[in-house]
């Protein structure tokens, strides 16, 4: 019978076993036990995938290119630690018999361990359903962009967030208002709707659920809200004030480049992504640039390639930095043109 993943299983591994109970429970929800048949390879020498692997059942043979061999058996003191945690891996790992193992994103594990150990802050301090707490927090921690934030900032972000409850149909932010908070959904769902001159009822831009975020565009670009966010179910959000957002979350996520560096990146395969309006884009734009206005970026994520680097640009840098924040949250690699397309740096 397959092993069922639980807190007790994870406690058997180091350093996972030292996590607080709430964080162990969150990790259980985001991890699965995998199976591998006897004789199959777990990984080869030189493997660089950032996954931390623990053996749950069975045994694994480790072999170097020079022929040195080691056997790891589940349940032994050696198996408490990750298998070949250092990259690139120095061994080829082959299952001796049928095995079960867990593979955890190394960046996620590192963030969780650091978060767990950087103070007395507990998840339980947020007054909400425990399961939902873990879902939204773990979802945030799993975003690649969050891995770029200093650990102390992560702790401060969760401490400074404030919980607000809403009923279905409540408006969280309204198009045209000033931006004051960044939001993360902790319970329920909401819709992002943008009013246009031809559609006063609004065009639905996105549906968001637990762990997803909104409200960053106007905070970064210092413009009025460009859409309305409405709760479609009863729910709750955690909000982070504008100054805290810019200090703790925004700046660590953004990579700015000068025009000369951007041109070099473009020559090497990076793609210009112009987030201005189509009329601005038609007036002038970088050769080869694609145009996705800022307010459409969430809708167009599926058309972009996560294997590419995107050079975001606008007139001043404000809108492109807001776009970069959204893309970074989704795991894209971005750079932002410093000063924008209107700067004298282009000369």
Query: Has residue 187 been placed in a domain?
Result: yes
- 172 and 86 in a common domain: no
Band the pLDDT of 342: cuts 50, 70, 90.
confident
- 152 and 236 in a common domain: yes
pLDDT for 106 beyond 50: yes
Q: Vertex 274, ends 272 and 277: CA angle to 5°?
A: 165
- 245 and 129 in a common domain: yes
Distance CA 270, CA 196 (A): 33
- 59 and 101 in a common domain: yes
The mean predicted confidence, pLDDT, of the chain is 84
- The percent of residues in the chain predicted with pLDDT above 70, rounded, is 88
Distance CA 30, CA 142 (A): 9
Query: Has residue 115 been placed in a domain?
Result: no
pLDDT at 4: 85
| Residues labelled catalytic | 314
Residue 70, domain extent:
7-108
- 231 and 134 in a common domain: yes
Model confidence, pTM: 0.57
Tokens linked to 234: 């009863």
Query: Has residue 118 been placed in a domain?
Result: no
- 275 and 234 in a common domain: no
Query: What average pLDDT does the segment 103-127 reach?
Result: 61
Residue (of 230, 136, 140, 214) closest to 179 by Cα position: 214
pLDDT for 87 beyond 80: yes
Buried b (16+ CB within 10 A) or exposed e, 156-188: bbbebbeeeebeeeeebbebeeebebbbbbbbb
* Strand 256-257 relative to strand 333-337, pairing: parallel
pLDDT at 198: 67
pLDDT at 114: 67
Main-chain dihedrals φ then ψ at residue 24, nearest 5 degrees: -60, -45
Whether the Cβ atoms of residue 314 and residue 276 lie closer than 8 Å to each other: yes
CATH code (residue 230): 2.60.120.10
Query: Has residue 120 been placed in a domain?
Result: no
- 45 and 17 in a common domain: yes
pLDDT digits (tens, 9 = 90+) for 152-165: 677 788 788 889 99
Give the end of a domain, one of 218, 250, 282: 250
| Stronger pLDDT, 94 or 216, i.e. the higher one | 94
Query: Has residue 336 been placed in a domain?
Result: yes
pLDDT at 69: 94
- 13 and 69 in a common domain: yes
pLDDT digits (tens, 9 = 90+) for 27-80: 887 788 999 999 999 999 999 988 899 999 999 999 999 989 999 999 999 999
- 244 and 258 in a common domain: no
CA torsion angle 162 165 168 174 (round to 10): -40
pLDDT digits (tens, 9 = 90+) for 23-37: 788 788 778 899 999
Query: Has residue 94 been placed in a domain?
Result: yes
- 335 and 239 in a common domain: no
pLDDT at 119: 42
Query: Based on the structure, what is the number of domains in the chain?
Result: 3
- 137 and 64 in a common domain: no
Query: Has residue 1 been placed in a domain?
Result: no
C-alpha distances in Å from residue 96, one per residue of 53, 61, 63, 100, 227: 16, 6, 12, 12, 57
Give the end of a domain, one of 226, 250, 274: 250
pLDDT at 124: 36
Three-class secondary structure assignment of the chain: CCCCCCHHHHHCCCCHHHCCHHHHHHHHHCCCEEEECCCCEEECCCCCCCEEEEEEECEEEEECCCCCEEEEECCCHHHHCCCCCCCCCCCEEEECCCEEEEEEEHHHHHHHHHHHHCCCCCHHHCCCCHHHHHHHHHHHHHCHHHHHCCHHHHHHHHHHCEEEEECCCCEEECCCCCCCEEEEEEECCEEEEEEECCEEEEEEEEEECCCCEECHHHHHHCCCCCCEEEECCCEEEEEEEHHHHHHHHHHHHCCEECHHHHHHHHHCCCEEEECCCHHHHHHCCCCCCEECCHHHHHHHHHHCCCCCEEEEECCCCHHHHHHHHHHHHCCCEEEEECCCCCCHHHC
Query: Has residue 196 been placed in a domain?
Result: yes
Give the end of a domain, one of 219, 250, 281: 250
Distance CA 146, CA 107 (A): 10
Query: What average pLDDT does the segment 297-325 reach?
Result: 90
Distance CA 227, CA 218 (A): 10
Whether the Cβ atoms of residue 193 and residue 204 lie closer than 8 Å to each other: yes
pLDDT at 130: 43
Band the pLDDT of 267: cuts 50, 70, 90.
very high
pLDDT at 16: 86
CATH code (residue 304): 3.40.250.10
Residues 6+ apart with CB under 8 A from 202: 175, 193, 194, 195, 196, 228
- 285 and 242 in a common domain: no
End-to-end CA distance of the chain: 68
């Amino acid at each position: 019978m397959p092993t069922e993943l639980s807190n007790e299983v994870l406690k058997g591994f180091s350093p996972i076993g030292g996590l607080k109970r709430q964080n162990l429970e969150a990790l259980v929800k985001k991890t699965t036990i995998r199976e591998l048949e006897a004789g199959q390879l777990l990984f080869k020498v030189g493997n660089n995938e950032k996954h931390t692997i623990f053996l749950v059942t069975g045994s694994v043979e480790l072999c170097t290119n020079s022929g040195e061999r080691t056997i790891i058996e589940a349940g032994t003191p050696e198996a408490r630690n990750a298998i070949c945690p250092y990259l690139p891996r120095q061994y080829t790992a082959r299952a001796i018999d049928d095995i079960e193992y867990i593979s955890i994103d190394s960046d996620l594990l590192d963030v969780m361990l650091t978060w767990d150990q950087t103070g007395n802050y507990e998840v339980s301090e947020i007054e909400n359903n425990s399961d939902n707490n873990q879902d939204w927090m773990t979802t945030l921690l799993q975003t690649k962009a969050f891995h770029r934030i200093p650990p102390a900032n992560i702790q401060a972000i969760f401490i400074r967030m404030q919980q607000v409850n809403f009923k279905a149909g409540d408006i969280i932010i309204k198009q045209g208002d000033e931006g004051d908070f960044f939001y993360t959904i902790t319970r329920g769902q909401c819709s992002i709707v943008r009013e246009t001159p031809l559609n006063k009822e609004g065009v639905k831009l996105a549906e968001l659920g637990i762990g997803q975020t909104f409200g960053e565009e106007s905070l970064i670009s210092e413009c009025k809200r460009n859409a309305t966010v409405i709760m479609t179910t009863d729910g709750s959000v955690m909000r982070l004030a504008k100054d805290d957002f810019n200090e703790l979350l925004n700046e660590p996520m953004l990579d700015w480049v000068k025009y000369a560096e951007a041109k070099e990146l473009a020559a090497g395969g990076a793609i210009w992504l112009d987030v201005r309006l189509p009329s601005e884009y038609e007036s002038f734009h970088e050769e080869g640039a694609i145009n996705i206005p800022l307010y459409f970026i969430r809708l167009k994520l599926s058309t972009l390639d996560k294997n590419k680097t995107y050079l975001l640009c606008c007139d001043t840098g404000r809108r492109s930095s807001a776009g970069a924040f959204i893309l970074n949250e989704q795991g894209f690699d971005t750079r932002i043109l410093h000063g924008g397309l209107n700067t004298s740096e282009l000369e």
